[in-house]
Amino acid sequence: MKGRMGKILTIARRDFRAILFSRSFLFFILGPLFPVVVASMAGGIGASVQGAAGPARIGVAMADTDTAMVTEARAALNQPLPRLPGTIVLDRPANSPQEVSAILKDGAGQGVAAVLSGTLDDPVLSGPQPRIAAWSGDVSLLVEEARRISATGPGQARQWPEIGLRPVAQPSQVDQTGGRIRTAQAAQTLLFILTMLLAGMVLSNLVEEKANKIIEVLAAAVPMDSVFFGKLLAMLGVSFVGISIWGGVAALVIVAGGASVAFLSAPAVGWPLFMALGAIYFACAYLLLGSLFLTIGGLAATVREVQTLSMPVTMAQLLVFFLASYSLGQQGQPVELAAALFPFSSPFAMLARAATDGALWPHLLAIGWQALWVVIIVRTGATLFRRTVMKSGPRGTKRGLFRMLHQSTRSFRQA
């Protein structure tokens, strides 16, 4: 004989199979294209967040005259080439890799991501390999301009100096922080896209059950909150199937295209744990939003009402995402704490934290906190559903959604 968990799984299994083997599942799988485009267009917020890592600059550790020429050259090039990396004069030597590493570490606050040393005739750029490789052309231009200023002035034929590249093993603090923020940002965006794509499906779930008139069979056999949990589990399972398929396709595309995801810095907790936390926070975000949507959808009487609800629900999702994104640039500030505490933004904020901070105990607390809210929302939703939907006999004068909202508010007050 089955217990309550067995019955929850019975409901979950039925829903899971019904969705997986339906024709509409194909459209569901093709669905991500739209939000990917939307997310790309909404990427503006990323730029402001990225700014939180500070601009990366070149620390100049040359002889005084050479340093002055380089600084002057940078100023001269600022107007035609504003995106050229900025420079900062260092007052310490950078002759050995150890000295460069120390500068990179200590100079993080000033944004030092690489060090230019040597002379104008024999310049050397030291720093993390990806950084110096990316900047070598810019530095060549900068040194050439400095040489022109120090020599006879404009008119001479340009001779692009060869830049000696000296990689150091340790990435600069600026690169590390910026990279991790980029990783956090990417993870947040992915989590948001997936949650938005997938949790919305739950909205119409109970409407279908009411249309099939089977909801009363379920409600008589199993407590309503168990029905809710069963349905959420099914949808979560479907979501993971979808993510597996999308992930697989994405991996194929990346491999086939000869690209890699190496542009993302390793998160603070390391990739394996980060992936695991990503899955857990996705489940939490999904269950939180899903339980809310299930409640709202359950109170709706028709598919039309569900469609009406879709817009405010999507907007609310966006607001939650913006809060979490904004908090990424405000680490350690109250807004980050608020984003981590507010149940619906908590998974996003905490996943970002996993990318930028290696501490694990906040995640244990956050997961427990989010799970608690899932239970609270499901219980509340089930109670509202029983009070407002599972009734018979004459109805009031208010109709449709407005009647439901009225009843919900009333029931909530009574509760």
What are the φ/ψ torsions at residue 78 (nearest 5 degrees)?
-60, -40
Per CB under 8 A, does 410 bind other proteins? yes
10 binds other proteins (CB under 8 A): yes
Beta-strand relationship, 112-118 and 123-127: antiparallel
Residue 152 interacts with other proteins (CB under 8 A): yes or no:
no
Q: Is 295 in the site for other proteins (CB under 8 A)?
A: no
Q: Does 399 interact with other proteins (rule: CB under 8 A)?
A: no
Q: Which is nearer to other proteins, 142 or 218 (CB)?
A: 218
Q: Which is nearer to other proteins, 172 or 407 (CB)?
A: 407
Q: Which of 105, 151, 216, 337 binds other proteins (CB under 8 A)?
A: 216
Q: Give the CA diameter of the chain.
A: 97
Residue closer to other proteins by CB (options 92, 398) is 398
**Contact residue for other proteins among 63, 133, 221, 255 (CB under 8 A):** 221
Our finding on whether 396 is near other proteins (CB under 8 A) is yes
Q: Nearer Cβ to other proteins, position 2 or 92? A: 2
Cβ proximity to other proteins, 144 vs 208, nearer residue: 208
**Interface residue with other proteins, options 31, 164, 223, 237 (CB under 8 A):** 223
Between 14 and 134, CB nearer to other proteins: 14
* Closer residue to other proteins (CB): 220 or 256: 220
CA distances from 299 to 295, 391, 412 (A): 6, 12, 13
Give the residue with the Cβ less far from other proteins, 222 or 233. 222
**75 or 221: CB nearest other proteins:** 221
| Token duo for residue 84 | 């050229």
CA distance 365 to 350: 10
- Minimum CB separation of residue 215 from other proteins in Å reads 8
Residue 267 and residue 184 in contact, taking contact as beta carbons nearer than 8 Å: yes
**Nearest distance from residue 29's CB to other proteins, in Å?**
19
What string marks each residue from 363 to 392 as x (binds other proteins by CB under 8 A) or -? -----------------------xx--xxx
> Which one, 11 or 202, has the nearer CB to other proteins?
11
Q: Whole-angstrom Cα distance, residue 16 to residue 234?
A: 5
- Tell me which of 24, 393, 413, 415 binds other proteins, using CB under 8 A: 393
| CA 186 vs CA 96, 236, 323, 354: distances in Å | 36, 22, 15, 12
Residues in contact with other proteins, shown as a per-residue x/- string from 15 to 54 under the rule CB under 8 A: ---x---x--------------------------------
Question: Quick one: which of 64, 212, 256, 257 contacts other proteins (CB under 8 A)?
Answer: 212
Asked if 1 is part of the footprint of other proteins (rule: CB under 8 A), the reply reads yes
Minimum CB–partner distance for residue 242 and other proteins (Å)? 20
At 344, which amino acid appears?
F
- Stretch binding other proteins (CB under 8 A), from 3-11, 76-84, 152-160, 260-268: 3-11
Tell me the closest approach of the beta carbon of residue 298 to other proteins, in angstroms.
14
Instruction: Draw the binding track, 91-120, toward other proteins (x: CB under 8 A; -: no contact).
Output: ------------------------------
In 3D space, the residue among 88, 63, 77 whose CA is nearest the CA of residue 145 turns out to be 77
Taking the complex as a whole, how short is the minimal distance between the CB of residue 307 and other proteins, in angstroms? 22
Strand 57-60: give its sheet, edge to edge. Answer: 86-89, 57-60, 112-118, 123-127, 164-167
Give the burial class of 236: count Cβ atoms within 10 A of its Cβ; 0-12 exposed, 13-18 middle, 19 or more buried: buried
Binding site for other proteins (CB under 8 A): 1-2, 6-7, 10-11, 14, 18, 22, 212-223, 386-387, 390-394, 396, 407, 410
